[in-house]
Homo-oligomer: A and B are copies of this chain.
């Protein structure tokens, strides 16, 4: 089972990598300036577990949705994820020098290029979904765009990053704020949860899930998203920088609102177990065909990087 899951995760990552290369290789008139194209590829290719595309792909596959649609939608959500990492790493944001074991985009290139790379990757994500190559059904394309925009926007990922900056008091005159568990859950549901849950919803849309199955998958995606962030926060405390390929132990030092910070690692692990169970429960309706999604939820909680 576990070996099977890791094999599958790597296999889908390979297909997504190929799709991302295909998307970057599309000739445009006028051409993309070489420096911008090089920095966009640097930010996206050759790294990451591609967990969000995996969730799109496997959710769609469970429902026998179009594979090409799922791969292109997976690539689009990965472009959004990559843009958010580039901008979050900026000096004015989290000020990180290392990402996936490489210098961050603003270190490898420069800050202005990093701003533009993030902007252009976001645009490319929506351009990819709008393309008729993604699906012959324009209603599916529009629905995928709406889902991705909601997950990424001011009430989703970008809004969560805003709450995170506020929690840390990282403004002129700002002071760190002690958040309670409810506020931390809200922040994390937006900052990381929304895009992971959105990946599952995109897969369910590609598979044309009926209302019952859609809601079951939605519940799965939300619980998985919450579990992901707690696992991330535990890793931030316990794993080494070398294992993660990025700086660790930064969150606690900055007073970031995490459940690990509020409760300690032991209680956070209990909550993590509870969330994995919450993710698995709604999958009962699918029987053993959803085993790969079950494995994804466990992997999310147990990963070491």
Is A154 in contact with chain B by the CB < 8 A criterion? yes
Complex formed: what's the CA distance from A141 to B145 in Å? 10
Q: Number of residues in A with C-beta < 8 Å to the partner? A: 61
* Candidate in A33, A111, A129 with the most chain B CB atoms within 10 angstroms: A33
Is A291 in contact with chain B by the CB < 8 A criterion? no
B154 touches A37 (CB 8 A): yes
- Interface 9-residue window, one of A12-20, A49-57, A158-166: A158-166
Q: Which residue of B lies closest to A150 (CB)?
A: B127
Q: Which residue of B lies closest to A95 (CB)?
A: B112
A122 touches B120 (CB 8 A): no
Assuming the contacts A30-B189, A30-B190, asked whether A154 and B123 have C-beta atoms less than 8 A apart, the reply is yes
- Interface 9-residue window, one of A86-94, A204-212, A250-258, A273-281: A86-94
A155 touches B186 (CB 8 A): no
Is A248 in contact with chain B by the CB < 8 A criterion? no
Complex formed: what's the CA distance from A171 to B116 in Å? 13
Chain A 24-44 interface 0/1 with B at a Cβ cutoff of 8 Å (1 = within): 000011111101110010000
B159 touches A33 (CB 8 A): yes
B171 touches A145 (CB 8 A): no
Is A203 in contact with chain B by the CB < 8 A criterion? no
Complex formed: what's the CA distance from A129 to B186 in Å? 27
A145 touches B130 (CB 8 A): yes
Complex formed: what's the CA distance from A232 to B33 in Å? 23
Pick from B109, B113, B141, B153: contact of A138, CB under 8 Å: B141
B115 touches A162 (CB 8 A): no
CB contact list, A195-234 vs B, under 8 A: none
CB distance from A218 to the nearest CB of B (A): 13
Residues of B within 8 A of A119 (CB): 83-84, 87, 118-119, 122, 158
Chain A 130-155 interface 0/1 with B at a Cβ cutoff of 8 Å (1 = within): 11100000110111011001101111
B149 touches A116 (CB 8 A): no
* Candidate in A36, A83, A90, A166 with the most chain B CB atoms within 10 angstroms: A36
Is A172 in contact with chain B by the CB < 8 A criterion? yes
* Candidate in A83, A120, A123, A149 with the most chain B CB atoms within 10 angstroms: A123
Assuming the contacts A35-B162, A159-B120, asked whether A112 and B92 have C-beta atoms less than 8 A apart, the reply is yes
Pick from B83, B110, B142, B158: contact of A36, CB under 8 Å: B158
Complex formed: what's the CA distance from A33 to B109 in Å? 32
